[in-house]
Amino acid sequence: MTDQILTYATAPHPYTPAVAAGDLVFVSGRLGVKDGKFVDGGAAAEAKQALDNAERELASFGLDLTHLVKATIFLADIEDLQPVNQVYMAAVPEPRPARSCVAVAELPFGGLVEIELIASRTKQG
Return the amino acid letter for 122: T
Q: Is 60 part of any domain?
A: yes
Domain that residue 22 falls in: 4-120
34-55 residue pLDDT tens: 999 999 999 999 999 999 999 9
The C-alpha atoms of residue 67 and residue 61 are separated, in whole angstroms, by: 11
According to the model, what pLDDT value does residue 9 have? 44
Residue 51 lies in a domain: yes
Q: Is the pTM value of this prediction over 0.75?
A: yes
If pLDDT is split at 50, 70 and 90, which confidence band does 2 have?
low
Q: In total, how many domains does the chain have?
A: 1
State mean pLDDT over 23-31. 94
54 in any annotated domain: yes
pLDDT of 18 strictly over 90: no
Domain-embedded: residue 10: yes
| 20: phi then psi, degrees, rounded to nearest 5 | -105, 130
| Domain containing residue 51: CATH number | 3.30.1330.40
8: in domain: yes
Asked if residue 50 is part of any domain, the answer here is: yes
How confident is the model at residue 110, as a pLDDT? 95
pLDDT tens for residues 81-125?
A: 999 999 999 999 999 999 999 999 999 999 999 999 999 998 766
DSSP annotation string for 78-125: GGGHHHHHHHHHHHSPSSPPEEEEEE-S--GGG-SEEEEEEEETT---
Cα-Cα end-to-end distance for the chain: 20
125 in a domain, yes or no? no
Rounded CA-CA distance 73/102 in Å is: 6
